[in-house]
C-alpha cells in the first residue's frame, strides 16, 4: 500500500519514492513486478503526472526499477545487486576491523557515524 499525505512536510514525490523503494528492498514488490503506469498512479494518488514521473525517474537512477518501453515499469534486480555489494563491502570492513583489533562496539559506532554523515 502507498500512502500520500498532502499535509506532510515531505514532498509527495519523496513520499512515493521512499515507499516504493522500501517495498522493493523488503521484497513486498518482487523482482519483475509490473508497476502501474505513471499516469495511472498519479490519478490513483491524486498527484500530478510530473510528480510521479520524478519519483519513478529517481527509482530508475537508483537501479530499483526499469522501464521497458511501452510495456511499462518493472521492479528490477538492481535492489538485489545493491544488497550484494553492501554485503561484500561489509565483509571487507569486517576483515579490516579484525586485522586492526578494533572492538565490535566501536566498529559498529564507526559505521553508524559514516551512515549518519552520508545521510546528513
* Cell numbers at 111, concatenated: 559505521
Member of 38, 41, 55, 64 binding another protein (CB under 8 A) = 41
Q: Applying CB under 8 A, which part among 30-38, 78-86, 89-97, 106-114 lies near another protein?
A: 30-38
CA distance 117 to 113: 6
Q: Least distance in Å: CB of 35 to another protein?
A: 6
Q: Applying CB under 8 A, which part among 27-35, 76-84, 95-103, 110-118 lies near another protein?
A: 27-35
Reported as type and span, the H/E element at residue 75 is strand 73-75
Member of 14, 25, 36, 82 binding another protein (CB under 8 A) = 36
Rg (CA), the chain: 18
Reported as type and span, the H/E element at residue 90 is helix 78-100
Amino acid at each position: 500500500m502507498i500512502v500520500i499525505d498532502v499535509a506532510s512536510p515531505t514532498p509527495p514525490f519523496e513520499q512515493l519514492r521512499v515507499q516504493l523503494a522500501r517495498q522493493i528492498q523488503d521484497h513486498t514488490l518482487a523482482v519483475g513486478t509490473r508497476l502501474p503506469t505513471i499516469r495511472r498512479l498519479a490519478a490513483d494518488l491524486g498527484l500530478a503526472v510530473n510528480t510521479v514521473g520524478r519519483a519513478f525517474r529517481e527509482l530508475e537512477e537508483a537501479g530499483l526499477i526499469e522501464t521497458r518501453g511501452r510495456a511499462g515499469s518493472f521492479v528490477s534486480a538492481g535492489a538485489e545487486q545493491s544488497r550484494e555489494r553492501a554485503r561484500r563491502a561489509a565483509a571487507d570492513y569486517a576483515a579490516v576491523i579484525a586485522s586492526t583489533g578494533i572492538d565490535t562496539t566501536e566498529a559498529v559506532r564507526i559505521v553508524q557515524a559514516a551512515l549518519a554523515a552520508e545521510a546528513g
